[in-house]
Amino acid sequence: RRHAAATLSIRSEISYVMIKPDGVQRGLVGEIIGRFERKGFKLVALKLFQCPKQVSGGVAVGGGVCCNCLDIAEEHYKDLSSKPFFGALVEYILSGPVVCMVWEGAGVVKSARKLIGATNPLEAEPGTIRGDLAVQARGRQPAWLCPLKWPLVGRNVVHGSDSAENGERETALWFGKDALVSWEPALAPWLIESN
Ligand code: UDP
Ligand code: MG
């Protein structure tokens, strides 16, 4: 399910990058988009998305979360569905507006992961998004400390696909097919040498 290749260049890979609710709430949208932009990748899709609340007879149902969004979030993180933090993770990702983006370019998947940094912000290198902008370690909190919220899901501000395949899969999931914009950045010759 590949989107139409930019006519002048060979179709390269895409990464689905999402600013998580904590990144949006903390006003980091411009900062995070700016880092990908300055790196030189091509933005091919972008939207602010909030899961609509599901209300029946004036009463919030299913925790107020719309089923379709729940399906999307669960599908997005399906590889982690057996983890003890899965439910909390899905809840976190639907807890507020998120910014969904698709970036394109040769090697974008690996490079975006490097820009984003390690999953645990405390281990993420300075210079990375998580290393510079987040503190909370993922992992478990002793049950006696926080019995209801155990285990904790860390706040790490951004998601990036971990493979080209997942870049395609996650893009289709959050944007549907044919949502990508095919364009030729005017700066392309200054970023990528071609003959
Ligand atoms: N996560 C968590 N606890 C863990 C591992 C992961 O809360 O022990 C959350 C965290 O928000 C992470 C997301 O689950 O970003 C997806 O986990 P993954 O291992 O795929 O990390 P990522 O690809 O985001 O670096
Ligand atoms: Mg991951």
Q: What is the pLDDT of residues 144-190, one digit of tens each?
A: 655 555 566 779 999 999 999 999 999 999 999 789 999 999 999 99
- 161: CA distance to ligand 2 center in Å? 6
Which CATH number do you get for residue 171?
3.30.70.141
Q: Is residue 2 part of a domain?
A: no
User: What distance in Å separates the CA atoms of residue 148 and residue 170, rounded to the nearest whole number?
Assistant: 31
User: What distance in Å separates the CA atoms of residue 35 and residue 96, rounded to the nearest whole number?
Assistant: 22
Q: Is residue 182 part of a domain?
A: no
Q: Is residue 183 part of a domain?
A: no
pLDDT in tens, 18-71: 999 999 999 999 999 999 999 999 999 999 999 887 777 777 665 667 778 999
**Which residues are catalytically annotated?**
159
Could you tell which of 78, 90, 115, 138 is best to mutate to test the pocket of ligand 1, judged by most ligand atoms within 8 Å of the CB? 138
Number of domains in the chain: 1
- 135: CA distance to ligand 2 center in Å? 18
Residue of the CA atom closest to atom 18 of ligand 1: 119
Q: Is residue 151 part of a domain?
A: yes
- 11: CA distance to ligand 2 center in Å? 24
Domain that holds residue 93: 14-175
Q: Is residue 119 part of a domain?
A: yes
Q: Is residue 118 part of a domain?
A: yes
Q: Is residue 186 part of a domain?
A: no
Torsion of CA 2, 4, 9, 15, to 10 degrees: -40
141 Cβ partners below 8 Å, 6+ apart? 149, 150, 151, 152
Q: Is residue 125 part of a domain?
A: yes
User: What distance in Å separates the CA atoms of residue 186 and residue 25, rounded to the nearest whole number?
Assistant: 33
- For residue 129, which ligand has an atom nearest its CA? 1
ipTM value, please give it: 0.98
Instruction: Specify the pTM.
Output: 0.88
